[in-house]
Each structure stands twice: as C-alpha cells, then as structure tokens.
Amino acid sequence: MCGMSQQPPVRSTGTPPPRPDASMSLLNNVIDHAVDDGYAEASARRAAEGGGMPRTIKAKLGLAAGLVLAAAVVTLGAAEARVSAPVVAKERQDLIDRIESETSAADKLEQDVDSLRAEVGSRQRKALERHGGDQAELVALLSGATPVRGPGVKLVVDDAKEADTGGGGPRESSGFSDTGRVRDRDMQRVVNGLWQSGAEAVAINGQRLTALSAIRAAGDAILVDNKPLVPPYTVLAVGDGKRLSTAFQDSADGQYLHALRENFGIRTSISAEGDVRLPAAPSLIVRTAEPRGAGAAKATGQATADTGKGTS
C-alpha cells in the first residue's frame, strides 16, 4: 500500500443542477401553459356535452324559433313577389296601350290637319278663280294657287365635290363660308335673277315659290318657306326657255353664279326645256284691297294679290 493519504470521494447531495433558462420563469410558464386551465376545462366540458350545441331546452327552442322566423320571412317575400309580378306586368301593359292609343290619336289629328289644310287651299284657289276679275289667271299664277305647265329652263346648283363645313375664306366676311357649299343667299340671287329674266313661275326641288316665299338658312341647311332642302338644288322656271336661259346667264345674277363656279367649285348647269311642270303652292296667303276715295285702299282678308316678283 502506498503511504499517501486518500481523500474521500465527493458524494452527490441529490439536487439537480440549475437549468440554463432558470431566470426566464415567466416565459417558460407562458410556453408550458399556452391555454389557460379554465379555458381548457370549458372546452373539454363543451365537447363532452355535445360539440357546442345549446345546453338547455330553452336555448334550443330559441334557435328553432329564429330559423322558423327566417324561413317565414323568405317565404313571405317570395309570395309577395309572385303576387305583385302580374300586377306590375299589367301596369306595364296598360302604359304601353295608353302610349299606342295616344300615338294613334296624334296621327289621326295630324291627318285631319293635313286634310283641312288641303281643303282650305282648295277653297282659296276657287275663290281666286271666281273673284280674280280680269287678272284672275295672273293672280293665281303669282300666288301659286294653281299648277303650271309650259316651256322653261332647268337650273341645277350643287355643292363643290370636296365641300366642307368649315369657314374662314373670303366669303366668310359677307356672311358666307369659303367651303364650296351653296348658301341661302346664292339661291336668293338665282331665284331673283330668274324672276327678273322673265320667269313666270319658279320652284326649287318641287317647292313652289310665290311672291311671299322666303329663302333662309338654318345652320348649313337651306329653308324654303321653312321647309329644309338638300342639294343638289333643282330650280325649274316656266317661261320662254331659250330667251329665259340667255337672259339669266347674261344678267348680274347669272354672272354671280358663274363666279361661284370658277372661284369655289360650285357645280351648275342650265338647259332650256320644252315641258316644265310646277306644282301648286302647299299653302296660300291671299290679301285683297278695295279702293276708297281718291286712290286710298283698305286691306281686307288674309292673303294677297301681290303682282310683284322676287324672293327675299
């Protein structure tokens, strides 16, 4: 044996060594007990009693009543919709029937107006024929009361091939537009030139002109007695065809039309015709005058026996 002394071995006291995270007790507690014990017990008890359904008869009855009420509301809404659908359809059909009825009534009234207007025109023409005296034929001619047929000229005036609606050219300063479009003042000069050249009756696109006719503009449209016309404008004039054609082309208005063709490309053509037919004017305004005293006259009636020619 060795003579050196031996130390007794170190014995364990039974206490485990401290954990490294011993200082984080609060965090460890949250991790180890993520769900509170009370919540865990309530969840377990609810699962044991039937998976979350109401625990009492009263609660079950309340749920059933709510479901019944919801079903009743849905059913009532569907029933009301089904009941009201025929009513809505009937009201719609009634409205359609009223619209159709009123439209038919308006069409009938319009036909009555046209018929009465034609009757008034016919009576006025007969009155002119009976009371026109020695100049009855001339009065009827100038007032457009009767259709006219005879030799004459046909003058066609049309826009330039590349006419535009814009302006800004030399004609703009005179109320025209340098666009190659025929204007109301162009047609006024054409018609007045024909009257002055010896025309006895004139019509534009079938619209008979009288001593009281007016040619106006509405935007880019030309109106003759408030009726819009579209190009080409076909002017028919009754008179001595060749003489009328020559006189018009030599007149200032004929030269004006020639300048429009040369400067703005407006297309024109004129020809003498052996048979020209003009309709009667759609409406008449006849005025009469009675002499009173030394050259005085009193206007009576509504329409005119004017014998002057020309179109404003």
Task: Compute the distance between CA of residue 225 and CA of residue 215 in angstroms, rounded to an integer.
Answer: 6
Residues 6+ apart with CB under 8 A from 280: 121, 125, 144, 145, 146, 147, 208
**Bridge partners of 153?**
237, 272
- Report pLDDT digits (tens) over 218-229: 877 899 988 899
Does the pLDDT at position 100 exceed 50? yes
Q: What integer is the mean pLDDT of 291-311?
A: 45
- Let me know: does 250 contact 288? Beta carbons within 8 Å: no
Does the pLDDT at position 36 exceed 70? no
- Report pLDDT digits (tens) over 143-198: 777 788 899 999 999 998 876 544 444 444 444 455 688 999 999 999 999 999 99
- Report pLDDT digits (tens) over 231-281: 899 999 999 989 999 999 999 999 999 999 998 899 999 999 989 998 887
Is pLDDT larger for residue 87 or for residue 161?
161
**Residue 105's pLDDT band (cuts 50, 70, 90):** very high
Is pLDDT larger for residue 213 or for residue 29?
213
Does the pLDDT at position 293 exceed 70? no
The DSSP-derived string for 202-251 is EEETTEEE-TT--EEEETTEEEETTEEE-SSEEEEEES-HHHHHHHHHHS
What are the tokens at 146? 């009767």
pLDDT averaged over every residue in the chain: 75
Residue 39: what pLDDT?
67
Task: Compute the distance between CA of residue 198 and CA of residue 211 in angstroms, rounded to an integer.
Answer: 14
DSSP state at residue 9: P
**Residue 24's pLDDT band (cuts 50, 70, 90):** low
For residue 117, give Cα distances in angstroms to 74, 81, 111, 146.
Answer: 63, 53, 10, 15
Task: Compute the distance between CA of residue 194 and CA of residue 276 in angstroms, rounded to an integer.
Answer: 15
pTM of the entire predicted model: 0.51
Task: Compute the distance between CA of residue 187 and CA of residue 312 in angstroms, rounded to an integer.
Answer: 10
For residue 239, the tally of other CB atoms under 10 A from its CB is 24
Residue 311: what pLDDT?
44
For residue 281, the tally of other CB atoms under 10 A from its CB is 23
Task: Compute the distance between CA of residue 186 and CA of residue 181 in angstroms, rounded to an integer.
Answer: 10
**Residue 305's pLDDT band (cuts 50, 70, 90):** very low
Task: Compute the distance between CA of residue 222 and CA of residue 24 in angstroms, rounded to an integer.
Answer: 100
**Residue 79's pLDDT band (cuts 50, 70, 90):** confident
Does the pLDDT at position 53 exceed 80? no
